[in-house]
Structure 1
Amino acid sequence: MNIAITIFKYFPFGGLQRYMLALANEAVARGHKVTVFCGVWQGDFPEGVDVRVIKRPVWFNVAGVRSFTAAFQDVYNKSEFDLLIGFNKMPGLDFYFLGDSCFAQKALLERSFLYKFAPRSVLYLNYEKSVFGGDSCTNILTQIMSEQKVFARFYSTAIDRFFLWPPDISLKHIQSSGLPEVKLEFRRKLHLPDAAKIILCIGSGFHTKGVDISIAAFFELTKIDTDNKYALVVVGADEPGRYLEIAKNLGVDASVFFLGALSPIGDVLAAADVLLHPARKEMGGNVILESMISGLPVIASKVCGYAPYISRYLMGEVIDSGEKPQNIARIILSVLSVDKNYWSCCAQNLLQKESFFCSTKTVVSILEDFFTSSKRHQVVVANSKQKVILREELLAEFSGRDIFSLMENMPGVVAREMSDRQTLRFEINGQGYYRKWHRGVGWKEVFKNLLQLRMPVLGAKNEWDALNKLCALNVPSLVPLAYGVRGKSPAYQQSFIVTRELTDVIQLDHFFEQHSVSIKTKRLILTKIAVISREMHAAGINHRDFYLCHFMLDMASLAENAEPDIYLIDLHRAQLRLQVPERWLIKDLGGLFFSSLNLHFTSRDYLHFLCVYFKQDLRVILSDKKKLLEKIRARACSTYRRDFGHDPLLPG
């Protein structure tokens, strides 16, 4: 393969940069050609790798990022390369190494309303969407698979676009001289007593790594324990001025040392007594594993992707984000009180059970398999007149054809016919599918909804977006396989969606009407409905037609006496936001309650649903959610009176 790699800036001591270089070297070792495009390169060029520096007279601020991206696209000849791998977010990548947390989460949930309109936010959100968006064909190499759900909430990024890049530790980087006098020599260089305890911080980007938090905790430590001598040693590439000022203001500057960036760091790890890593954000955190492998206990914040290794192998403590410096100081004392032989035994256990030294080989194999198989998650064809997305088995079946003409004239059995849309069942090679064809709602429907302060449903997009988000979050629903839209007029826009047919299923309301259901089975079903409801609403989706008839039960799954397979369908009118407003939450849950009122559910059944849905103790729910529950009940009773002409008989 001829592989192109992009990275804004390379310097020898960055974690992102080390991953990039490891990938490039492994690919070259396997006989592939590698070209790295970057804005800045510090250090020696790697042997066998073609490094092309795109010089731009700006910093890597908003203008610099935009300028580099534009310059790269000017010099990048796509036909020359087989794969494009990015270590920073930008459009047009085949693979992206996930080295940063989700910017949308920060911009849309953690900052002020105006933050997302700043030029920096607009650019980063657009670049992030170009990588993670539902229309993107970019695959993601991630250090932590749990990050997929974070991005899925904002971009509906499918899980099959994520590939795990396991921890990759460089033995050369953590190599130690192994001499017994390392500890003493290191202390003497810093003019410290031989018995001094060293708290170590490692990482470039001192604010992100929480160096100011470490200094504050170190100050508290010196107040708590005045009998022993302590030193805080910081290793990493950043400007120390601000942090030295913090240490000076606290009166501990004589015991805080900034050593700059170092490699290898084995002797530093061997000389230290504990690694303190209260990072504000950290996708992985190689330094955590490097320390643990070296027998050094670790205290790290739980936002770090690799923090679970600390708990799993009992190699220190995981602290909350925003932990008070006084508490961190006490934790440091507790960790330092443990015999060092214990940490050595834990490190040996870690090395026996985990492999951290050849993961780049796995990643290059992923790239090779992707290239040779030519397997694509989806194909997006878009122009000024129309847009079409095809996935999975429909890729081979429909590629190269006039999709809109095919969908409009698809032979099959009409399942539902309405003035503005048609639902049709068709088969391909014995597999059933449903196609919804939207003809356009007309201006009358558009204005009617707007006058009622509601956004009109113009076509298949609502259902397509909702199904993609549910699938990305592993909420059981229909599988969306194709989508298309054409026309500029919102009133007469044509669109379609194709989903895979569910077989051997029954509507839940029909199931309860036709079968005598045991208490255990009923509780299993209610638990599954509550989980689906909770996850859907947590994802910012409200259904608008949330009734039991839109839950489909796989009868065969009940025979196994385990969690039943239940699927949520008919999301044609679904709405998507960051958070579901209370009004629409009440409508959904009120509709679900209404649809169950004639099915002989007991008060215990409803209370069980509430405990699962809210994930709280029943007493807390009945106290804290009292007004919300009253509104849900009122909504259900109002709908019942409208449909049946009298009040429902509510369970006692």
Structure 2
Amino acid sequence: MALMKKNSCYLRQDLAQAWADKPVFDAVANIDGEIFRDKEGRRTLRFELNDRSYFLKYHQGVGWTEIVKNLLQMRLPIISARNEWQAIHFLEKHGIETMTLAGYGEKGINPATLRSFVITDDLVNTMSLEYVGEQWQQRPPSFATKQALIRKLANMAGTMHKNGMNHRDFYLCHFLLDERFAEHNTFEDKTPVYLIDLHRATIRHKTPKRWQIKDLGSLYFSASRVPLTKRDKLRFMQIYSGLPLRTLLKEQADLWREVQHRAQRLLAE
């Protein structure tokens, strides 16, 4: 994927028309809406414009103190919304459902004062897979529904990792599906599941094993309340890897052992 140039900007036609007489970064910086986050140089909010609902993530510069703090903690600082829009492009390219871009941009050179934004369509009338465990404790799904959802998540994770992207926040709460699932409790292979919250995602030529482990361990941990059998887990592993079960257990035993250890550590915290 080609990197965007500095001081670049894209607006879909609906936003371009609405802000035709305004400097884009001024318009974005002054948007009012329902705020979900406003700290460390980043604002996340939902806003409405011409009867449409959008999500905005606006980065106004994190400052050198925040950058140095992250580096000292051996963490890659998030200084731009670029990660998010590049991850969306990546997922679209590889057939993984995610948010729909309405606009993005970046302005500046100094990493401490870099201004950037990403705007996506609001995924209205959706619910998080975080609640599936609770729901299935009371209302167990059909065999077909459970297997279809396992296939879906395993294919999403496998496709993402095989093509070089790791999410770094890969929990069930960052998968959304139609909120009517809470009523009908059924899922099919064609049912959309949207992967969100991509600001920490990293794209490389190949996903390092340690980041596979972190993503998969986080997903396994977040599914701790979902009633999964040993066969369910083996099915996920097989679909994710694309390997026959015998080969999988022989060649990837260390990977899946580390995934389980990470999930157990998270559960113990």
- Mark yes or no: TM-score above 0.5: yes
Aligned to 2:143: 519
Count residues with an aligned counterpart.
Answer: 263
Q: How does 1:5-44 map to 2 (within 5 A)?
A: none
Provide, for residues 199-243 of structure 1, a one-character-per-residue CA deviation record: whole Å limited to 9, x for no partner: xxxxxxxxxxxxxxxxxxxxxxxxxxxxxxxxxxxxxxxxxxxxx
Partner amino acid, structure 1, of 2:245: L
Aligned to 2:78: 457
Aligned to 2:152: 528
Aligned to 1:436: 57
My pick for the range that moved more, 454-463 or 494-503, is 454-463
Report the CA distance between 1:461 and its aligned residue.
0.9
Partner amino acid, structure 1, of 2:263: A
Aligned to 2:267: 640
How far apart, CA to CA, are the structure 2 residues paired with 1:528 and 1:612? 9
Judge conservation of contact 2:133–2:225 (CA < 8 Å) in 1. Answer: no
Aligned to 2:115: 494
Aligned to 2:163: 539
SS of the residue aligned with 2:176? strand
Partner amino acid, structure 2, of 1:456: P
How far apart, CA to CA, are the structure 1 residues paired with 2:63 and 2:214? 26
Partner amino acid, structure 1, of 2:255: L
How far apart, CA to CA, are the structure 1 residues paired with 2:65 and 2:24? 29
Partner amino acid, structure 2, of 1:609: F
Which of 235, 241, 245 lines up with 1:618 in the alignment?
A: 245
Aligned to 2:101: 480
Which of 597, 605, 610 lines up with 2:232 in the alignment?
A: 605
My pick for the range that moved more, 478-487 or 528-537, is 478-487
Aligned to 1:551: 175
How far apart, CA to CA, are the structure 1 residues paired with 2:191 and 2:180? 9
Answering whether residue 93 of structure 2 is matched by residue 469 of structure 1, we say no
SS of the residue aligned with 2:11? strand
SS of the residue aligned with 1:426? strand
Provide, for residues 559-598 of structure 1, a one-character-per-residue CA deviation record: whole Å limited to 9, x for no partner: 6855321010001111111111111111101111111112
Judge conservation of contact 1:417–1:423 (CA < 8 Å) in 2. Answer: yes
SS of the residue aligned with 1:533? helix
Q: How does 1:80-95 map to 2 (within 5 A)?
A: none
How far apart, CA to CA, are the structure 1 residues paired with 2:220 and 2:65? 32
SS of the residue aligned with 2:37? strand
How far apart, CA to CA, are the structure 2 residues paired with 1:631 and 1:562? 29
Partner amino acid, structure 1, of 2:71: L
Aligned to 2:39: 418
How far apart, CA to CA, are the structure 2 residues paired with 1:556 and 1:600? 21
SS of the residue aligned with 1:417? strand
How far apart, CA to CA, are the structure 2 residues paired with 1:388 and 1:447? 28
Distance verdict in 2 for CA 1:461–1:581, change over 3 Å = same
TM value normalised by structure 1: 0.38
Aligned to 2:254: 627
Distance verdict in 2 for CA 1:575–1:632, change over 3 Å = same
Partner amino acid, structure 2, of 1:403: V
How far apart, CA to CA, are the structure 2 residues paired with 1:486 and 1:405? 12
Provide, for residues 275-304 of structure 1, a one-character-per-residue CA deviation record: whole Å limited to 9, x for no partner: xxxxxxxxxxxxxxxxxxxxxxxxxxxxxx
Q: How does 1:249-328 map to 2 (within 5 A)?
A: none
Q: Name which one, 1 or 2, has greater alpha-carbon Rg.
A: 1
SS of the residue aligned with 1:475? coil
How far apart, CA to CA, are the structure 1 residues paired with 2:201 and 2:240? 19
Provide, for residues 537-568 of structure 1, a one-character-per-residue CA deviation record: whole Å limited to 9, x for no partner: 12211111000111111245776855321010
Give the RMSD, CA atoms, in angstroms.
2.1
Judge conservation of contact 2:149–2:187 (CA < 8 Å) in 1. Answer: no
How far apart, CA to CA, are the structure 1 residues paired with 2:34 and 2:211? 34
How far apart, CA to CA, are the structure 2 residues paired with 1:555 and 1:426? 21
Provide, for residues 174-222 of structure 1, a one-character-per-residue CA deviation record: whole Å limited to 9, x for no partner: xxxxxxxxxxxxxxxxxxxxxxxxxxxxxxxxxxxxxxxxxxxxxxxxx
Distance verdict in 2 for CA 1:451–1:415, change over 3 Å = closer
Judge conservation of contact 1:434–1:498 (CA < 8 Å) in 2. Answer: yes
Partner amino acid, structure 1, of 2:195: L
Report the CA distance between 1:444 and its aligned residue.
2.2
How far apart, CA to CA, are the structure 2 residues paired with 1:395 and 1:602? 50
How far apart, CA to CA, are the structure 2 residues paired with 1:625 and 1:521? 27
How far apart, CA to CA, are the structure 2 residues paired with 1:541 and 1:596? 21
Aligned to 1:192: none
Aligned to 1:283: none
TM value normalised by structure 2: 0.90
Q: Structure 1 stretches of 5 or more lacking a match?
A: 1-128, 136-381, 643-652
Report the CA distance between 1:452 and its aligned residue.
4.1
How far apart, CA to CA, are the structure 1 residues paired with 2:172 and 2:241? 19
Partner amino acid, structure 2, of 1:542: N
How far apart, CA to CA, are the structure 1 residues paired with 2:86 and 2:229? 36
Partner amino acid, structure 2, of 1:519: F
Report the CA distance between 1:486 and its aligned residue.
2.0
How far apart, CA to CA, are the structure 1 residues paired with 2:57 and 2:24? 14
Partner amino acid, structure 1, of 2:200: R
SS of the residue aligned with 1:458? coil
How far apart, CA to CA, are the structure 2 residues paired with 1:562 and 1:528? 7
Partner amino acid, structure 2, of 1:638: R
Higher relative contact order (CA 8 A, sep 6+): 2
Judge conservation of contact 1:460–1:497 (CA < 8 Å) in 2. Answer: yes
**Identity over the aligned pairs, expressed in percent?**
38
Judge conservation of contact 2:15–2:102 (CA < 8 Å) in 1. Answer: yes
Q: Structure 2 stretches of 5 or more lacking a match?
A: none
How far apart, CA to CA, are the structure 1 residues paired with 2:89 and 2:19? 20
Judge conservation of contact 1:134–1:468 (CA < 8 Å) in 2. Answer: no
